[in-house]
Each structure stands twice: as structure tokens, then as C-alpha cells.
Amino acid sequence: MVWTGIITDVRVSDVRFPTSLTLDGSDATNRDPDYSAAYVVIETDRRDGVTGHGLAFTIGRGTEVVVAGIHALRHLVVGKPIAAFTSSPGEFWKLLTGDSQIRWLGPDKGVMHLATAAVVNALWDLWAKLEQKPLWKLLSELSPEQIVELVDWRYLSDALTPEEARRSLDRLVPTRDARAAAMLDEGYPAYTTSVGWLGYPDEKIRRACREGIEQGFSRFKLKVGLDLGDDLRRTALVRDMIGPEHTLMIDANQRWGVEQAIEWVRRLAPTRPWWIEEPTSPDDVLGHAAIARALEPLGIGVASGEHCANSVMFKQFMQAGAISFCQIDFCRLAGVNEVVAVLLLAAHFGVPVCPHAGGVGLCEYVPHASLFDYIAVSASLERRCIEFVDHLHEHFVDPCVVRGGRYLAPTAPGTSITMKADSLAAHTFPGGQVWQDLSERS
């Protein structure tokens, strides 16, 4: 279908939620996050008034810098026909990431990459709404050739060629429908991080574990990394609460050096964590590989990706055997196109993808990636689960739904990221009512 219409505007808001007041989202490095987003709305001249929404997740201060980054991309989008994106999304992605002057600010990393993610994902939201399909369905119905076209292969084809990717996608086409039906029936396995933010006192952790089990979760993630004594106590507490049959994961949010990570996690090993997440710098491929080698005999995997800058970095992590779980982030990578690139790489290297979703809007986004992965790319649920954090869903028009420890398949057209207008207005920084009230109180 060729969609008519011209993109007429890219509007951006700086929206922040004061989560630091309750320490929701806190970890050993990010001690007081205010879950925030640079929020984009793409407008067109179409009579149906359809708009494309997208966001880049941030944690408070600095959101204004991402907003400026999005403004810097305007000239690449405004005035373009919608069909320039929908007929060749891969070419459009290269245009957005390849501006001959802006590229100097990256390439493909940092603030401009976050800004690009918000814009790319807003374009996909627009397209999925026009098609009247949730994003996962739109992606899962693309042909293998169309999927391969989404990806910029320039820096990836030494590890995986587009022809190889197309052949493995081809093999799964006849069975896609059965997996899509299973997803609609059963949903996708989730794990919860809401039990273990670093700033939570023990009693709150106990309560959250009890609630998590009642809600049907079997996998629980706890923040570690600040104080070994606290970690020994808290990991034992969670293991005790969830019992030997359930799964515990731990997340250090980049707190340690390589050797320190190995020593610290060895001390926590008796509580049998399934993975240690972000043990060290997110850029240290060989450091992660060393940690992975040291912890493998203990049955502890290394997970990383929420700060992995781009698909080239993911390629190296996988080539080096440095991660046993790939945690794509829907808006740290430059949106859907680059997420698809990493899903293809992960399937090729046999690394399970367990998307990062600890933030505002990420739980809304990532089921689309995992459902598509299962239906069209990896066809496996083994060692795979999507993160769930139970915060701020009430601000979205089509919030994610998790039941019995599984994400239900999103059904509304788009990417599920459209925020309610009154939530957006109240949380806009610094002028929204919520921030006005807080500044009057202080």
C-alpha cells in the first residue's frame, strides 16, 4: 500500500515523572532517577489526522539535550512524503543516521542516537497506525526481503550477510502463523524487576516478592553492587522469599571493574543467580568476555545491552562470546530498524534476547520486538523473557498488559507508546502541574 501525505511537523516534549521521590527505578549507579522521555509527535497533512508517536527514555536531567537532538533532525523528516519512509524504511533510516554534519556527533551513539530512536520509532508508529496493526504484526507480516531491507548491513555483514539472514527468515515463513496464534493465546514470558530497586528497604522487597509470586511471576531481578554486605543479605532474602524453584537475576548497573565483578559475583553465587547484568562498563567487550568465562563454571550468565550503543557493539559482544543474554533497548538502539538488526544477529549467534524495559514506556515498546522475534526471527522462547516494571503504565493510552507472569500480545494499532494528553501536559518539564506543585513545595 502506498500511503499518501506529507510529514508537516515534528513536535517534541520534555516529560518527566518524579520517581526519585519513591526511589522506584533506583540502582547502584543511577541512585535517584526521575523516569523521563523526550517525546515526539509526527504530524502529517492527511485528512484522517493520524499522528506518529515515539520516545527516547531518559532519567531526568539531560532530557532537554535529547530534545535539542530531535530538533536537529527535523530537516531530515519535515516535508518528506510518508511513502518515502514506508516504501523503503531501511533507506530512510540511513538518511536519518547519515547526515553528513550531524554524524560527527556520534556516529551511532550517545544523545543523537537516542534522538534518532525517538524519531524512527515515531515513524513506525505512524506506519503501523496507518496499516491498522500493532507493530509486532506489521513486522511479522513483512517478507524476508523487506525485513532484510530494514537493516544497514555495512558494518555487520562480516558476521552475518543479508543473504544468510534472508535464508534463515525464509525457513520460518511457513510456521509464522502458528507462532502468532500461540502469542495471541498465551502471551510472552515476563520477569519482574519491581521487587528489587536498590533504594527499597528489606520489608518492601519481601512484600514485593510475595506480590510477584501471587501475580504469577517465576523470575525476579534484584539490584546489587553498592555494598557487598547488603547484597549478601538481600540476595539471600529474595532467594528465601521466592524459593529454590524460581529464578533470581542480579543487576549491577556497571558498578564494578572486571576483577571486582568476578570476585563480587562469586560471593553471591550461593544464591544461584541466573545472570549478572551489566557487571562493568557497557563498552568493555573483552572485559565482559573475561567475566563470562570466569562465571560460566558457576552457571551464571552475563547479560548486557541497555547501554549498548549500537548494532556494531552488539556484534562484537556476540562474536567475543561476551554475553549470554542480549538486552536490546528499543530506544538506545536507533529504533525499530536497528532493533531488527540485533535480533537477526542474536538469532545467528544463538544468543537469547531478553529486552530491557526498566523505564517509562519501555514495557509498552518491547513486547513488539519479542513477539516479532519469536514469530519471524528466532522461533524460540528458550531462555527468553521480557523485563516488566510496574510503574507509570497508567499514562499510556494502550498500556502493556501482563497476566500470570506473561505479556499479552498488544492489539491496538501502532507501537503502544501514545501517552494520554493530560499525563503529557501534567508532567511536561518544568511547566507541567506536577513540577509546578513540586517546586512550590520545596
Ligand X SMILES: C[C@H](O)[C@@H](O)[C@@H](O)[C@H](O)C(=O)O
Q: How far apart are CA 257 and CA 74, in angstroms?
A: 40
CB of 59 to ligand X, least distance (A): 5
CB of 305 to Mg ion, least distance (A): 9
CB of 356 to ligand X, least distance (A): 5
> Dihedral angle at the C-alpha atoms of 428, 429, 431, 436, nearest 10 degrees?
100
Name which of 151 and 303 has its Cβ closer to ligand X. 303
24 binds Mg ion (CB under 5 A): no
Using DSSP, state whether 149 is helix, strand or coil.
helix
356 binds ligand X (CB under 6 A): yes
Q: How far apart are CA 215 and CA 221, in angstroms?
A: 15
Q: How far apart are CA 43 and CA 51, in angstroms?
A: 5
Give me the residue label for grid cell 531530515: 76
Rounded to 5 degrees, what angle do the CA atoms 416, 22, 390 make?
A: 30
Q: What does the per-residue mask of binding to ligand X show for 381-420, with x meaning CB under 6 A?
A: ------x---------------------------------
The catalytic residue among 53, 137, 223, 315 is: 223
Is 356 noted as a catalytic residue in this protein? Answer: yes
Closest CA to 17 of 387, 426, 398: 426
Q: Name residues contacting Mg ion, limited to 265-304 (CB under 5 A).
A: 277
Helical spans, DSSP H, in 131-191: 135-140, 144-149, 162-172, 176-186
Name which of 125 and 387 has its Cβ closer to ligand X. 387
27 binds ligand X (CB under 6 A): yes
Q: What does the per-residue mask of binding to ligand X show for 209-248, with x meaning CB under 6 A?
A: ----------------------------------------
CB atoms within 10 A of CB 247: 16
Name which of 253 and 311 has its Cβ closer to ligand X. 253
- The phi and psi torsions of 379 (rounded to 5 degrees) equal 55, 25
CB of 289 to Mg ion, least distance (A): 19
Residues that bind ligand X (CB under 6 A): 25, 27, 30, 33, 59, 193, 251, 253, 306, 356, 358-359, 387
Which residues have a catalytic role annotated? 223, 356
